[in-house]
Amino acid sequence: MTMTMYQSDRNFVSPANDASLYSAITNEQAVILDRGNKLNVTVNGLTATVSTGQVIIKGRLIEVLSPETITLPAGTSGKIVVTVDLTKQNDAVGNIGDSSYSVTVNQTYLSVITTDNLTQDDINNGGFIYQLPIANFTSSSTSATASIIQNLMFDTGWLNIPLAPNAKASIAKYRLINNIVYVKLFTCDCSKTTNGNQIGTLTPLFSPGERIVETGLAYDGVYPRGVGINIRADGFMYVDFQKDSLGRANVCATFNYPLK
């Protein structure tokens, strides 16, 4: 028979079959779950410590049960990554079904890369290695700093955007759902702020990571005008492409972007 159903009576579900199912359910994402300390990274000297948490990588659930340390190379920059490496063999002791049976998992580990070239194979379709970055780092000869890369899978609900001084808005909110940030602005008046164009700042953890420009509309009392919503890498937002105050007094926009 050339057709099967893995979740059927008496059938065997392999790790690859199981991962394929959960990868599809999570929209093929690699995401950190809201568990433990969400793989938070701290640095002391050149030693980085990754805290507890769980991550799904292409359907495989990986957990850091207790803090893990890794040494960062000196005098460079790069990323700390969680790696799935199916080229490695796991070590098993005992017989399957016995209480003494145990497996040492060698197919996932922390590693450091110092290039921009992540290996992200389709490990459910013939690939072998997938690297999920969880932090950026920069090091000197004796110390390093690290910044978290957000890949969170949960729903924060709608949160208020902290507005710039003298900015007003009927609605200025953002929301993170499964690693996508959604922003909505309605009747935002930034004409009386510094430079007459400042809106506010998204929480830095949910900032886009690099500058983006989204489109919006502003009503000047006669005509709608197209405006640009400029969002810097640190989450600071301001109105662009409109020089007069009428184009900055009634700004509306909805947009979304993935976390980097």
Structural domains of the chain sorted by starting position, each given as residue range(s) with its CATH number in brackets: 15-153 (2.60.520.10), 159-258 (2.60.40.2460)
In whole angstroms, give the CA distance from residue 131 to residue 118. 6
pLDDT value at residue 244: 62
Stated pTM of the model:
0.66
Above pLDDT 70, what percent of the chain?
Answer: 95
Q: Give the phi and the psi of residue 164 in degrees, each rounded to 5.
A: -70, 155
pLDDT value at residue 247: 62
The DSSP H or E segment spanning 215 is strand 212-219
User: Once rounded to an integer, what is the mean pLDDT over residues 115-120?
Assistant: 89
In whole angstroms, give the CA distance from residue 6 to residue 169. 53
Q: Are the C-beta atoms of residues 70 and 54 closer than 8 Å to each other? A: no
Nearest to 210 by CA among 183, 232, 179: 232
Q: Quick one: pLDDT band at residue 150, thresholds 50, 70, 90?
A: confident
User: Once rounded to an integer, what is the mean pLDDT over residues 194-208?
Assistant: 86
* 27: its two tokens: 């929209």
Q: What is the mean pLDDT of the chain?
A: 88
* 28: its two tokens: 């093929």
- Three-class SS state of 49: strand
User: Once rounded to an integer, what is the mean pLDDT over residues 195-199?
Assistant: 90
pLDDT value at residue 246: 61
In whole angstroms, give the CA distance from residue 20 to residue 125. 9
